[in-house]
Amino acid sequence: MNLSQQDWKSKLDRDTNAVILDVRTPDECSDGIIPGAINIDIYKGQGFIYAVDELDKTKNYYVYCKAGGRSAQACQIMNQLGFENTFNLEGGFMQWKGDVAFSIEE
């Protein structure tokens, strides 16, 4: 599901079962990340699918990339893998107005 920046953030703030997923490259992540995000680079192809498939499918995933395209694709892949709740951040990190961190939580 595509959500506007405001809807994505307000839904995330109220969600106690949320996981933030950044699908950008490690190099892009050096520009900053949304605090608490985990990073799985969608450009890893099959490696991305393997990594995502190991995630807890009962969680709600708030997915973003730089502009919103790759994260929309990631949500589609995740839905095909059995994830029921994936939320794409429209406009991506480029339009993000919330908090920014500069280290990824492992």
Active-site annotation, residues = 65
The amino acid sitting at 85 is: N
CA torsion 43→44→47→52, rounded to 10°?
-40
Give the full edge-to-edge strand order of the sheet including 18-22: 2-3, 86-89, 60-64, 18-22, 38-39
CB 101 within 8 A of CB 32: yes
